[in-house]
Structure 1
């Protein structure tokens, strides 16, 4: 894209406008930047539960209806992270920040424009990338963008926890991490964390005992303690000790977190992990769930009890690790039957076989768990998928 290209000028104009635009002014800034191109754009953001794509309001324009993800062409553009062209010539362009899916741009073209023009698609993807950065950065300065993504009020426990979590998707050239938490408006004790530094990917999945705000407070302290230890240069042993000490020193009522903490060397595939009373991660290889990582067992964190040595495993290229909390496999249907690990493994195999992006694999897994339990008890049910695969990582970006 050259400096004289009209899409380049539109991108530069949007960057210029972005410095002082308020959160609720993002849609109007996008429209103003592309006005000279003769196109019209509407910005949609995905809701927290990842069921609908919700339009952002823009002064002077009627607000369209939300779009269903599972039963619409725009939804396919979102799930596949690729530009889709409708029969009416409209373009649906995924909005991502890095590799985290945030929504869509609806692009209406002027008469005579070719909706299949590669240069047009490139220009739209560039604008959508800028919009993704804008939505993420501007969300910290007001509530309108967060409000647009919600279908109802969020519990205090969930409001606190969501502020502590990293983005739901992260990818490099060789690996991708995807996560999902449910129920998103009431989630209590579940949390996850990750960080990549110097070729080492560190992971954590935690589940605080209990429900609601007490569980969230426990998990929040655990999350802060492991980050403090990690950022001070500590490895698995130091992170485990920090969480155990922080919880035990703060509460003496027996509260604890179960957790899996892991380190993955992304250059070699070597995995070291600690399992503190948590469900064992599942290793998927060549599209099959081949085994659970059952090593590294120790008591839950916060009870001030000694533990054993970390477990070890070795990933092969294109392997995947699925980490989950007990709310997934212990979800029960109306008859009281549990979802179970075999059902989870079978569904994961089928979804991975469909070559879906990692975030979409988890979204569909989560929808399956929610559909299974229906209106039954809604314990937290969270998952993290690690893909040691350049091809899988590439599928997370447009």
Structure 2
């Protein structure tokens, strides 16, 4: 809120007083009735511009005149000292955020680049948006008229994406700020930001403003993707098979985090996914994790695995125990008749104690890196999701702060190269013991599997990584 300058208020007040047809004595009486304490002499001096008055007295006089003008029905009212309010901001961070919100309201997804450009002008910035493609190999410009994708492994922008950071480049015509685009903690892409006015991209104030903009923009990208195809189409490098379309719609965000746990997931082949999904649910007290897989890539696989996922979510959201979740999945699958067999693992991590419990059904047990070293391979059980009988006894491990857990599909470790060598658990362990965060570990693992198989996956490769980081 800004205050009207006293001289301007006095000038406008005098003009309104003249239209009110009041005498100074009548005005003083009205002012006195409102609680005013000035004398008639002081009032007369103010009317003639000979003295200044405190703001509270000026506003009481304005109110007295306005009451009279209301009686006359029509003449402009006298201004109060605080009547000059900030409407829509004309420049700066607030205008940028307002432009972004107003521009995105009821706008189709493909209009988002223009909305962002308008918001950038309020900060004297040119802003370009790059989103990660579904393979997470390249960063794709959101504007169709911008040529060239950026490789995630080799470009500066890719380095910003991989490390969820910010950097400045000065090797081009103009200094450029690159910053990661996040929806919460999920990496969506990067922003390319070039100041119009020669401002230094290393300016901490400018960086903070760009962080605000990127945070809001990340939310808008996710929201607008849900009600239109404009942004989704830009992220696709080729057509997606219908089974993969169904499974992608069933997956949660690739990244999530709370103060106690960080989760990251990835699946391949992105455009031909057929029978592997993962899921998680985070709360104050626990992290619930799951992965389901049907093995051979057959037509009905996607329906069977989605049914298992739906049964798991329904039981979990009803507050069912780990054992009851397991049983609910078996009951759901038993009703599918001759559908492909679904293997899986369901787990829960107590975020207060670090106790991890899990049940698996014909699926590899979680790979756990404890104090920097992998625990012995618990192997694959012969248990299956069944409609009747008791679930097997849950396995249990107590984690230490910083320990990591990976749920992975059999296709991930079983994928072979040209010589027949399987990908194996060792490569998963190496990444789990690295300093990379779970989202980047998951991305690197599925990229490594693709490279190991020369891009030809016979089975889906999926991984879900969680790291316990208690406060």
TM-score normalised by length of structure 2: 0.77
| Counterparts of residues 60-75 of structure 1 (less than 5 Å) | 62-75=145-158
Cα offset for 1:110? 2.0
Q: In the alignment, is the contact (CA less than 8 A) between 2:295 and 2:411 conserved in 1?
A: no
Distance 1:19 1:254 in 2: 44
From the superposition, tell whether residues 198 and 109 of structure 1 become closer, same or farther in structure 2 (CA, over 3 Å): closer
Cα offset for 1:20? 1.5
Residue equivalent to 1:378: 458
Distance 1:265 1:192 in 2: 19
Residue equivalent to 1:334: 418
Q: Note the aligned Cα RMSD (angstroms).
A: 2.0
Distance 2:128 2:333 in 1: 47
From the superposition, tell whether residues 24 and 109 of structure 1 become closer, same or farther in structure 2 (CA, over 3 Å): same
Distance 1:68 1:34 in 2: 25
Q: In the alignment, is the contact (CA less than 8 A) between 2:300 and 2:339 conserved in 1?
A: no
Residue equivalent to 1:170: 256
From the superposition, tell whether residues 86 and 48 of structure 1 become closer, same or farther in structure 2 (CA, over 3 Å): same
1:280 correspondence with 2:360: no
Q: How many residues align?
A: 380
Q: In the alignment, is the contact (CA less than 8 A) between 1:322 and 1:384 conserved in 2?
A: yes
TM-score normalised by length of structure 1: 0.91
In structure 2, runs of 5+ residues without a counterpart are 1-85
Distance 1:381 1:276 in 2: 18
The structure with higher relative contact order (CA 8 Å, sep 6+) is 1
Q: In the alignment, is the contact (CA less than 8 A) between 1:289 and 1:345 conserved in 2?
A: yes
Residue equivalent to 2:346: 261
Distance 1:169 1:90 in 2: 27
SS in 2 for 1:250: coil
In structure 1, runs of 5+ residues without a counterpart are 392-398
1:76 correspondence with 2:159: yes
Q: How far does the alpha carbon of each residue in 1:191-238 deviate from its partner, in whole angstroms, 9 at most, with x for none?
A: 011112351211101102431441110000001111111111111111
From the superposition, tell whether residues 182 and 302 of structure 1 become closer, same or farther in structure 2 (CA, over 3 Å): farther
Distance 1:212 1:53 in 2: 31
Cα offset for 1:377? 4.1
Distance 2:96 2:385 in 1: 52
Distance 1:71 1:38 in 2: 29
Distance 1:35 1:356 in 2: 36
Higher gyration radius (CA)? 2
Cα offset for 1:54? 0.3
Q: How far does the alpha carbon of each residue in 1:60-80 deviate from its partner, in whole angstroms, 9 at most, with x for none?
A: xx3231111100111111111
From the superposition, tell whether residues 12 and 330 of structure 1 become closer, same or farther in structure 2 (CA, over 3 Å): same
| Counterparts of residues 1-398 of structure 1 (less than 5 Å) | 6-57=92-143, 62-87=145-170, 88=172, 89-251=175-337, 253=338, 255-293=340-378, 297=381, 299-302=383-386, 306-349=390-433, 352=434, 355-389=435-469
Distance 1:13 1:25 in 2: 13
